Amino acid sequence: MVGEFVNLEIADGIGVIRLDRPPMNALNAQVQEELRAAAHAATNDADVYAVIVYGGPKVFAAGADIKEMADMTYAQMAVRAGALSSAFDAVARIPKPVVAAITGYALGGGCELALACDWRVVGSDAKLGQPEIKLGIIPGAGGTQRLPRLVGPARAKDIILTGRMVDAAEALAIGLADRVVEPEKVFDEALALVSQYVRGPVQAIRAAKLAIDGGLDNDLASGLAWESQLFAGLFATEDKTEGMTAFVEKRKPGFEGR
């Protein structure tokens, strides 16, 4: 899948959703829709086992396109806001492991895009944050919802209400980053993180991600019922048969994703 600013490149079972809108990968409406298309393509391509979201060696994404939004009215944004949120949600709903490879800045919408991924590999000189409050608005693509679920409500309020930037060391300490490496090693580290899922039990990985994400949005009893349903469903898959047979026969399983 090739867009003007967002591409999906596939190699060795890994899909790379690459942002390429110099100089700062500003997330205008076109980029948002191309992100949605790339997420759907990665979801539906059986050759993609895991996904890396990457903005390039210098910057992940420095936020929304403020020039595009500056003159928008309430009526215009009321129409656009849902599409903005759902474009990022399309990334969150990819039923495969997804990692954000973050270099430079991941601010505003860029931070929200990173939050939509399962993990964040961050360059040691990177800066993350939700500076929308300094523009007289709030995060509108998941920041007020995903950030507190990740780092807790008190830390999320500090970051969002001040609009301050979080460096890599703090991001790692509070759980906003999962790994911090030298900037030039960010992509390779992200690749190493998700390569372990290539040729894995696709249906089980999908079910595990659905169970965790769905459970977080429900009370414990509902989450346990959802888990039981997904667990039982895997007993209809060929991978379950192969995995258990391989265990009994003391050999490595050969999963086919069915």
Per-residue pLDDT 10s for the chain (258 aa) are: 778 999 999 999 999 999 999 999 999 999 999 999 999 999 999 999 999 999 999 999 988 788 888 888 899 888 888 888 999 999 999 999 999 999 999 999 999 999 999 999 999 999 999 999 999 999 999 999 999 999 999 999 999 999 999 999 999 999 999 999 999 999 999 999 999 999 899 999 999 999 999 998 889 999 999 999 999 999 999 999 999 999 999 999 998 888
Q: Which one of 33, 34, 68, 112 is the catalytic residue?
A: 112
Indicate if 40 and 130 belong to the same structural domain: yes
Residue 61, in any domain of the structure: yes
Indicate if 30 and 156 belong to the same structural domain: yes
Indicate if 75 and 14 belong to the same structural domain: yes
Last residue of some domain: 158, 175, 195? 195
Confidence (pLDDT) at 94: 97
- Identify which of 128, 124, 130 has the alpha carbon closest to the alpha carbon of residue 179: 124
Residues 72 and 180 sit within 8 Å (Cβ to Cβ): no
Q: Compute the distance between CA of residue 175 and CA of residue 105 in angstroms, rounded to an integer.
A: 17
Confidence (pLDDT) at 53: 98
Q: Phi first, then psi: what are they for 43, rounded to 5°?
A: -65, -40
pLDDT, one tens digit per residue, over 192-250 is 999 999 989 999 999 999 999 999 888 999 999 999 999 999 999 999 999 999 999 99
Indicate if 35 and 101 belong to the same structural domain: yes
CB neighbour class for 159 (10 Å; exposed up to 12, middle 13-18, buried from 19) = buried
Residues 115 and 89 sit within 8 Å (Cβ to Cβ): no
Q: Can 112 be counted among the known catalytic residues?
A: yes
* The length of the chain, given as a count of residues: 258
Indicate if 181 and 225 belong to the same structural domain: no
Indicate if 153 and 30 belong to the same structural domain: yes
Domain that holds residue 243: 202-248
Indicate if 160 and 234 belong to the same structural domain: no
Other CB atoms within 10 Å distance of the CB of residue 129: 23
Residues 53 and 28 sit within 8 Å (Cβ to Cβ): no
Indicate if 11 and 123 belong to the same structural domain: yes
- The tally of domains found in the chain comes to 2
Indicate if 168 and 103 belong to the same structural domain: yes
User: Could you give the residue ranges of the DSSP H alpha helices within 50-119?
Assistant: 66-69, 74-92, 109-115
Give the CATH number of the domain where residue 228 resides: 1.10.12.10
Q: Which one of 34, 68, 132, 189 is the catalytic residue?
A: 132
Model-wide pTM > 0.85: yes
Indicate if 226 and 173 belong to the same structural domain: no
Helix axes 153-162, 143-151, angle to 10 degrees: 140
Residue 258, in any domain of the structure: no
Name residues whose C-beta falls within 8 Å of residue 210's C-beta, 6 or more positions apart in sequence: 95, 226, 230
